[in-house]
Amino acid sequence: MNQKHVFQPMPIYEMDFNPFRQFKEDTCAIVTEVNGKANAMTASWGAMGEMWGKDVITIYVRESRFTRELLDQSETFSINFFDMDKVENKMALQIFGSESGRDKDKIAELKFNVNHSLNTPFLDESNLVFLCSKLSRTEIKKEDFFHPRIDSKFYENGDYHIMYIAEIMRVGAR
């Protein structure tokens, strides 16, 4: 299958979009690409808003993820949301969130298709895509927490999140 859906540009201030529900309940796929090889990783931690006079998305990716390696080598990435009533999308997000692109080409295995816009990879099967350009990278550290229980609950193994803030270059919907 090699479908090419048409994504319409979506003006960001006209969007009927709840980031809390989208990230937490639906989750998204972060899509990165280096040397023509794309990878997708499920993420449910994210934020959207204003920073440095720009519309931004913030994602939190643990140091150990293959996606973290690819993010560090890329200028851009995409955040992909899906119609979660479709069983194939649910299944894909399970695979993207449990297997590593270090071991296999998850996208090809699922017969999903990579599309590009603004030199940025995204998944053709998505129905809402944010094309993002990195602005900053911040490593979350043990000493950053006011509540030690956050550190002990989430980082017992020392695999801390790295926070990437990125400018939203374009939103596409279909």
Ligand X SMILES: Cc1cc2nc3c(=O)[nH]c(=O)nc-3n(C[C@H](O)[C@H](O)[C@H](O)COP(=O)(O)O)c2cc1C
In terms of phi and psi (left: phi > 0; alpha: psi -120 to 50; beta: otherwise), the region of 171 is beta
Among 48, 61, 71, 92, binds ligand X (CB under 6 A): 61
62 binds ligand X (CB under 6 A): yes
76 binds ligand X (CB under 6 A): no
Cα 135 from chain centre = 15
**Least distance (Å) from ligand X to the CB of residue 85?**
17
Binding part of the chain for ligand X, among 58-66, 126-134, 137-145, 166-174 by CB under 6 A, reads 58-66
Among 31, 48, 56, 67, binds ligand X (CB under 6 A): 67
Among 26, 55, 99, 151, binds ligand X (CB under 6 A): 99
Among 7, 31, 33, 39, binds ligand X (CB under 6 A): 39
66 binds ligand X (CB under 6 A): yes
